[in-house]
Copies of this chain bind each other. A is one copy, B any other.
Amino acid sequence: MRICKVIGHVWATKKQDSLNGQKLMVVRETETASEENQVFVAADMVGAGVGEEVLVVTGSTARRAAGNESIPVDSAIVGIIDSMEVMKEKKNRK
């Protein structure tokens, strides 16, 4: 799963019927080391709010998360992160 922050909402009136009822949120991947954190749209499955850190699944797994293979989503929020504990690493050390 990708570690993302929910940063907003998106609205689309004209869309595939099977997307009706899906809550579409704008998320930004936070844990890449680069400045090029990617912003994309994920369907919310867990009642996430703007500002929260979440776990996002992509690809065919997102359709499984949506519980219906015919819903055309390829990204889904499946958990809200309470806490993360990450070991300290020296830069460039493997």
Q: Which residues of A contact B (CB under 8 A)?
A: 1-3, 5, 7-16, 19, 24, 26, 28, 30-42, 45-47, 50-51, 55, 57-65, 69-76, 78-87, 89, 92, 94
Partner of A7, one of B38, B60, B82, B87: B87
Q: Using Cβ atoms and an 8 Å threshold, which residues of chain B touch A2?
A: 40-41
* A74 near B59: Cβ-Cβ < 8 Å: yes
Assembly stoichiometry (copies): 5
Complex Cα–Cα for A58 and B1 (A):
9
* A87 near B14: Cβ-Cβ < 8 Å: no
CB-defined A-B contacts under 8 Å, sample of 13: A1-B42, A1-B74, A3-B40, A9-B85, A10-B81, A15-B46, A15-B80, A33-B35, A59-B60, A61-B72, A61-B73, A64-B71, A64-B72
